[in-house]
Amino acid sequence: MEQSKIQGIGFAVAKRLAADGASVVISSRKETNVCNAMNKLQKEGLSVTGVVCHVAKKEDRERLFQEAIDKFGGIDILISNAAANPTSGSILEVNQSSNPSHLSVHSGWLTDNVYMIPTASRLKRLCPMRKLEPFSMGYVHSVILFQCGETEWDKIFEINVKSAFLLTKEVVPFLQKRSGGNIIYISSIAGYTPIEFLGPYSVSKTALLGLTKVFANDLASDNIRVNCVAPGIVQTKFSSIVKIAGVVSFLCSDDASYITGETIVAAGGMVSRL
């Protein structure tokens, strides 16, 4: 069962697990995303179905699980990949401007159409394997600095953390009926090293690292393994995200049967650590 936006990493994971032989239920809060992803995968002869699900809604989560039971008879794997980031800025950022032409940037880098404020040297150090396109010195007209209010904070944690917690609690009885299973959270390298201008998002991704540890301990006696993958800055073209899907596939396989409570960083050397 793959819970995500069914784009990027989520789509790649669904495709890889289905190619491995799994019957996959994909979900998104947007029906068009579900239909598009399901049609693409079914055309490749993969065993895939889909359901619209907003992870913050209990009735939607129940419908998601029931779809898996009705179509495939049980649940063995849960991939929690849903994420939201409705704001940009640090947690205490207070500057806000709709046309911040006064903001002078001496060096910046573009990655996947997202402007990154950190200096070029810092980004190259963080992500040595990524090809980044440099901007020349000048002014930035497209960057808006938002304050993180309580509403934005609550939404980020509701989707990024609380939904993972609730999905796990609610899927456990189904996994117990199968005498075990796998739960995988998709976190981010930001969970280890907060990304500038993504303060609240980074904190939420750190929370998933802790959630992995706690649930792994609680569920070990039920033969349920809980692990996490922390991608770095990945290109959304399929040749890059397929590598993240490969890590998820490994964690769900028998080859990883002695691994639980761990987070695998797949970041191309970005902030490598002991």
66 and 27 in a single domain? The answer is yes
133 and 33 in a single domain? The answer is no
176 and 65 in a single domain? The answer is yes
pLDDT score for 132: 46
Q: How many CB atoms lie within 10 A of CB 255?
A: 10
Question: Once rounded to an integer, what is the mean pLDDT over residues 13-21?
Answer: 96
Which domain does 115 fall in, by range? 104-139
Residue 273: band (very low, low, confident or very high) from pLDDT cuts 50, 70, 90: low
27 and 128 in a single domain? The answer is no
Helix 150-157, helix 199-219: angle, nearest 10? 30
229, 251 Cβ separation under 8 angstroms: yes
33, 63 Cβ separation under 8 angstroms: no
Residue 43 included in any domain: yes
156 and 117 in a single domain? The answer is no
pLDDT score for 151: 83
253 and 122 in a single domain? The answer is no
DSSP H helical ranges for the chain: 9-19, 31-43, 58-72, 120-126, 150-157, 163-177, 199-219, 238-252
160 and 110 in a single domain? The answer is no
Question: Once rounded to an integer, what is the mean pLDDT over residues 186-199?
Answer: 86
Residue 198: band (very low, low, confident or very high) from pLDDT cuts 50, 70, 90: confident
The whole-chain average pLDDT of the chain stands at 81
What total number of domains does the chain contain? 2
Per the structure block, which two tokens stand in for 274?
A: 């002991």
Who contacts 101 (Cβ-Cβ below 8 Å, separation ≥6)?
139, 140, 141
Domain CATH for 249: 3.40.50.720
pLDDT score for 199: 83
Q: Is 57 helix (H, G, I), strand (E, B) or coil?
A: coil
Residue 126: band (very low, low, confident or very high) from pLDDT cuts 50, 70, 90: very low
pLDDT score for 39: 95
Who contacts 208 (Cβ-Cβ below 8 Å, separation ≥6)?
160, 161, 164, 185, 187, 191, 228
Per the structure block, which two tokens stand in for 182?
A: 């796998």
Residue 99 included in any domain: no
Residue 93 included in any domain: no
Q: Which percentage of the chain shows pLDDT scores above 90?
A: 57
Residue 92 included in any domain: no
Q: Which residue has the higher pLDDT, 121 or 189?
A: 189
Active-site residue numbers? 201
Residue 205 included in any domain: yes
Residue 30 included in any domain: yes
Q: Is 108 helix (H, G, I), strand (E, B) or coil?
A: strand
169 and 256 in a single domain? The answer is yes
Write down the pTM of the prediction.
0.79
8 and 128 in a single domain? The answer is no
69 and 19 in a single domain? The answer is yes
pLDDT score for 184: 98
The yes-or-no verdict on residue 134 having pLDDT over 50 is no
Residue 208 included in any domain: yes
171 and 49 in a single domain? The answer is yes
195 and 121 in a single domain? The answer is no
Among residues 113, 139, 165, the one where a domain terminates is 139
pLDDT 10s digits, 214-240? 999 999 999 999 999 999 877 655 547
Q: Which residue has the higher pLDDT, 171 or 1?
A: 171
Tell me the torsion sign for CA atoms 167, 168, 172, 175: positive
Residue 144 included in any domain: no
pLDDT 10s digits, 41-95? 999 999 999 999 999 999 999 999 999 999 999 999 999 998 877 666 666 754 4
User: Vertex 16, ends 10 and 21: CA angle to 5°?
Assistant: 130
